[in-house]
Structure 1
Amino acid sequence: MTQSPVQRLFDGPLDIVGDVHGEISALEQLLENMGYAPNGEHPAGRRLVFLGDLVDRGEDSPAVVKRVSDLVRNGLAQCVLGNHELNLLLDSRKEGNGWFYAQTDDHDHSRGHFRDAPRADASERDAILKWFSTLPLALEREDLRVVHACWHPPAINDLRDDARPVRDLCENWSERVEASAEHDGLYAARKEELQQWKKALHDPEALVPMLPAIAAIDARTQSMNPVKVLTSGLERQTSQPFFSNGRWRMTEREAWWNEYSDEPAVVFGHYWRWPGDEREATARSRGPNLFDGTSTWQWLGPLGNAMCVDYCAGLRWRERKSGVQQHVGLLAAVRWPERDVITSG
């Protein structure tokens, strides 16, 4: 039975775990550090909440899904959907999610640097998609809210009473956004921009100007679709293009928490908050450093009640590849109501 995409959060004390990204060893270490028994029970009656992005890039995504889904089924955890789970529901191949697919070739970017990661078999793939389709997009109670990327009241309101499967929701909203862009002539304008700049858009040495139609379509695609807003945040046109992940970008992510002034606290992940030297460029999210001017473990927003708990566990694959012995990227959890941050170490 399909349920609302915005559901009730557990009562009582919680440990809210950031983006795991397949790092099963870090997850087990974090649970041990927080005092959880191997079966997921806590002597103080605490329960777990996972912020999504359980999968991709890390050492064993199928193992993480099994561990977390077992905890959820046993009533010991809740989990919201992240953009990486949404990609699989939409059958969208991205770098790092080749572990899910039955076959990939040497040119498949979904495997990329992650060819040694364990694959899911056919029965696991079916079960994984079925379970992902049951996950809410947001959780809430009177004092606390949980979402993968962005708590945006208009998007929450658009989705709260719509019980369609999340894949249908996302695709329906995408069609509506595309219709608005077509109506406003943006696709015709983008075609003209691509005629001149298509090749340069993938060249980091090119001098690419702001291309307003591409910028407008990219911003609308992200920020007018409430499913994408909750799972991967708001975006806006950047002041000037920048090169990231293989192409020139015309939009940048918004630090929405700087405007968050609601009384309930909100905990989220997604934004690659770097626990090391702030000059370390490998941890940067797309565009400007959204955490500039804040300390590593600081609560955010005008009321100090917004917390990003993604501390770059998803970069451990890169650290392993470089041969480091001590990871800088950490898996972390925030304890509620204590507001403390615990890490995998």
Structure 2
Amino acid sequence: MKTRARLEGYDLIGDVHGCGATLAALLEKLGYHQRGGVYRHPRRRVIFLGDLIDRGPRIRLAVRIARRMVEEGEAHIVMGNHEVNALAYCHPAPGGLGRDWLREHSPRHNRIIMETLEQYRDHPQEWEDALAWFMDIPLCLERDGLRVVHACWDQPLIDELRLARPDACIDRNFLVDSATPGTRAFRILDRLTRGIHIPLPAGMAIHSGDGYTRRSFRAHFWAEAPCTWGDVVFQPDNLPGELEQRSLSSDERAMLSHYGVDQPPLFIGHYWCEGVPALPAPNIACLDYSAVKFGRLVAYRWSGERRLDADNFTWLSVPREEQTRPRPWEIDLD
């Protein structure tokens, strides 16, 4: 029997968003090679940070690569908010919610998932299989000295989740409960996969570069003693006017989590960073660098260090050619 070499570490990969061809190229750059339709490395494993789907041109390829690696023990994955959205969008709502689906089929929600549904349109069983697989993806991961979550590590909520779900996975009852704001399931799913959102003042909005209008901003969770909105804002869009100098209210402070520098290394995605990958804190790496907006698909090569090192980032810029529709061999990996 052939035995595996000793595991040297993990390669954590940020939000792919359907950039499947770039994902394959990044894996090759990291030393993974395809055998039997699965990307493998003799001494390392991948951890995907979620958001495999939506927006990009090779969504089926991205899901196929990640799923096969996970099922073959070559990778782990945590759930992103886009997988959560897809599950809720495709799940009928029970009576009493006042809508047909857990996630309303509004123009905005339709637009977000449109590309995914279009690419799976002629492959309905493959889409059903993908949705079933999403249900098996944990919301967070802690192993070998590192932690992984898509958006925000909130220890009290994670402890609450693990009391009921030791594997950190959801089930259909949890998904249904999460459709109602204020429920335990909603609080856990929203915080871990979407992070902290602070509402803007009435009448103010952020007109984002991706075409959406937002009335809140994304806040991070590692500032030691934040005083102003500028101390916690974490997104590529600037706050309107002078709002960076606005003081955090007591209610807004209560919304914030805090992840201290004494905690284990943490890897997140979700936040649409731009530019050259950098560390927002000595023990935190964000790996979402706007791949689907022709940014970078980013990995961090972790080999056990407690203090992270920006030299361990590896990435590929996403070329315009990524928008070309995939050829059959890119989908059928065998």
Alignment TM-score > 0.5, same fold:
yes
Q: Tell me the residue number matched to 2:156.
A: 154
TM-aligned CA deviation for residue 90 of structure 1: 0.6
Partner AA of 1:149 in structure 2: A
Alignment pair present for 1:336 and 2:302: yes
Assess if the C-alpha contact under 8 Å between 2:54 and 2:113 holds in 1: no
Match of residue 99 from structure 2: none
Q: 2:86 aligns with which of 85, 88, 91?
A: 88
| Superposed counterparts of 1:101-116, under 5 Å | 109-110=111-112
Query: Using a 3 Å threshold, how does the CA distance of structure 1 residues 123 and 116 change in structure 2: closer, same or farther?
Result: closer
1:112 is displaced (CA, Å) by 6.2
The equivalent of 1:299 in structure 2 is 279
In structure 1, the residue corresponding to 2:180 is in which secondary structure?
Answer: helix
Report the Cα offset of residue 143 of structure 1: 2.1
- Write the distance in 2 (CA, Å) between the matches of 1:79 and 1:41: 15
Per-residue displacement from partner, 1:294-337 (whole Å, max 9, x unpaired)? xx332223xx1011011111213xxxxxxxxxxxx111100102
Please tell me whether residue 228 in structure 1 is matched to residue 190 in structure 2.
yes
**Which of 28, 36, 39 pairs up with 1:32?**
28
TM (normalized to structure 1)?
A: 0.64
Change in CA separation of 1:140 and 1:112 when aligned onto 2, cut-off 3 Å: closer
Q: CA deviation at 1:254?
A: 1.0
Taking the aligned partners of 1:70 and 1:234, their CA distance within structure 2 comes to 32
> CA separation in 2, counterparts of 1:116 and 1:174?
25
> Partners in 2 of 1:46 and 1:174 — Cα distance?
38
Q: Percent identity?
A: 34
Q: Give the RMSD, CA atoms, in angstroms.
A: 3.1
Report the Cα offset of residue 253 of structure 1.
1.4
Cα distance, 1:158–1:108 mapped onto 2, change above 3 Å: closer
Alpha-carbon offset, residue 237 of structure 1: 2.6
Q: How far off its partner does 1:118 sit?
A: 5.9
Normalising by structure 2, we get a TM-score of 0.66
Counterpart of 2:267 in structure 1 is 267
CA gap of 1:115–1:155, structure 2 versus 1, over 3 A, is closer
Q: Spell out the pairing of 1:168-247 with structure 2 (5 A cutoff).
A: 168-175=173-180, 177=182, 225-238=187-200, 241-244=204-207
Three-state SS of the structure 2 residue aligned to 1:65 is helix
Structure 1 runs not aligned, ≥5 long: 1-10, 94-104, 179-220, 276-295, 317-328
**Alpha-carbon distance in 1 for matches of 2:70, 2:117:** 29
CA contact (8 A) 2:21 2:61 kept: no
> 1:41 Cα shift?
1.7
The worse-fitting range, judged by mean Cα deviation, of 162-171 and 142-151 is: 162-171
Deviation of 1:13 after TM superposition, in Å, equals 0.2
Runs of 5+ unmatched residues, structure 2: 1-6, 92-106, 224-257, 318-334
Q: Is the 8 A contact 1:62 1:120 kept in 2?
A: no
- The match for 1:75 among 61, 73, 76 is 73
Cα distance between partner residues in 2 of 1:227 and 1:114: 22
Partner of 2:136, secondary structure, is: coil
Deviation (angstroms), 1:78: 0.6
Going from structure 1 to structure 2, the CA distance change for 1:122 and 1:143 (only over 3 Å counts) comes to: same
Residue type at the aligned position of 2:290 = C
Q: Which residue of 2 aligns with 1:22?
A: 18
C-alpha deviation, 1:62, in angstroms? 1.2
